[in-house]
Amino acid sequence: MIRIENVSKSFGDKKVLKNVSAEFEQGKTNLIIGQSGSGKTIMMSICTGLVEPDEGEVFFNDRRFSNLPERKRRDIRKEMGVLFQGGALFDSMNVEENVMFPLNMFTKMSYKDKLDRVDFCLKRVNLENSNKLKTKELSGGMMKRVAIARAIANNPKYLFCDEPNSGLDPKTSELIDALISEITEEYNITTIINTHDMNSVIKIGQRINFLYRGQLWWKGDKNSILTTENKELQEFVFATELTRRLR
């Protein structure tokens, strides 16, 4: 479980997050949704410690994480896996080295064990036998999957995914969604997903947090979101022609 309490963040005069409190449950896919620029990435970066909040705190299972020196965060960091918006694979390394990277950094496993773990993770994302491919030889969907494999390599307890299916075709995007939600249940991970793709929201939104102009505007799940009376949320959900017609 991850809890954020009264988090605020501004850049200059611009208030990006205003007094946001939220809880993300273990073993569930927790979604953060909202328009572009509503502060989803910033909220995630505060959880992962890339950005410090101006006010407020972040807790990982009641262990404080925010406003601590890097050295004291190390233990929690080992339990985190992060999938960045663009994948953020290391382009000086091939697929295998990318996935093995967290293992090299955090574990004392033998090379053979690490290799087994890499193969297992790659198999999990349907990329067997791609070990030696260079990052530039991968398609967008493959990159995302390798990035997921890297994020789960060291058995994280907390998984953060920033727009895991942006820029992918609907089919690949469903595949990635399914993969993330399976992993979440299978290993009882606390998963947080940023998205503005309504299709994933309806499919994997076990817990949904709607950000609107830097505030946590609405909370619910994939069923209640379709019947919401909240005006701003309705605008977001039924923003496309397709969803309006279906309604």
Partner 1 sequence: MLRKIGDYVILMGQALRRPPKFSIFRRQLVHEFYSLGVTSFLIVAILSVFVGAVAAILVAYNIDNPLLPDLMIGFVTRQMVIQEFSPTIICIILAGKLGSQIASELGTMRVTQQIDALQVMGINAANYLIMPKIIACLLFIPVLIIFSIFLGIYGGYVACDILNIISTEDYVLGLRSWFDPWTVTFALIKTVVFSFIIASVSSFIGYNVNGGSVEVGKASTDGVVYSSILIIFFDLILTQMLLS
In the complex, the residues that contact Mg ion under the rule CB under 5 A are 41
What, of ligand ATP, Mg ion, partner 1, none, does residue 15 touch, CB below 5 to 8 Å by kind? none
The DSSP symbol for 38 reads: S
Binding flag, residue 182, partner 1 (CB under 8 A): no
Distance set, CA 206 to CA 28, 138, 151, 155, 225 (Å): 6, 31, 21, 22, 11
Q: Give the number of residues written for the chain.
A: 247
Cβ closest to Mg ion, residue 41 vs residue 191: 41
Instruction: Between 34 and 156, name the residue whose CB sits nearer to partner 1.
Output: 156
CA torsion through residues 91, 164, 54, 38, sign: positive
Which residues, 6 or more positions from 59, have their beta carbon under 8 angstroms from its beta carbon? 2, 3, 4, 5, 65
Q: How far apart are the first and last CA of the chain?
A: 34
Site string for partner 1, 22-51 (x = CB under 8 A): --------------------------xxx-
Judged by CB under 6 A, the number of residues near ligand ATP is: 11
Q: Between 51 and 103, name the residue whose CB sits nearer to ligand ATP.
A: 51
Binding of partner 1 at residue 140 (CB under 8 A)?
no
Q: Minimum distance from CB of 174 to ligand ATP (Å)?
A: 20
Which of the choices ligand ATP, partner 1, Mg ion, none does residue 37 contact, using the CB cut-off of 5 to 8 A by kind? ligand ATP
Select the binding partner of residue 39 from ligand ATP, partner 1, Mg ion, none (C-beta < 5 to 8 A, by kind).
ligand ATP
Residue 201 Cβ, how far from partner 1 at the closest point, in Å? 24
DSSP 154: T
Q: How far is it, in rounded angstroms, from Cα 148 to Cα 89?
A: 10
Closest approach of partner 1 to the CB of residue 157, in Å = 14
- Residues in 14-43 at the binding interface with ligand ATP, rule: CB under 6 A: 16, 34, 36-42
C-alpha 209/C-alpha 236 separation (Å) is: 13
**Interaction between residue 91 and partner 1 (CB under 8 A):** yes
Long-range contacts of 54-57 (CB under 8 A, 24+ apart): 54/8, 54/9, 54/10, 55/6, 55/7, 55/8, 55/19, 56/4, 56/5, 56/6, 56/7, 56/8, 56/19, 56/20, 56/21, 57/4, 57/5, 57/6, 57/7
64's contact among ligand ATP, Mg ion, partner 1, none, with CB below 5 to 8 A by partner kind, is none
H helix count then E strand count, the chain: 9, 10
Where on the chain is the footprint of ligand ATP (CB under 6 A)? 11, 16, 34, 36-42, 196
Where on the chain is the footprint of partner 1 (CB under 8 A)? 48-50, 70, 73-74, 77-78, 80, 82, 84-92, 101-102, 104-106
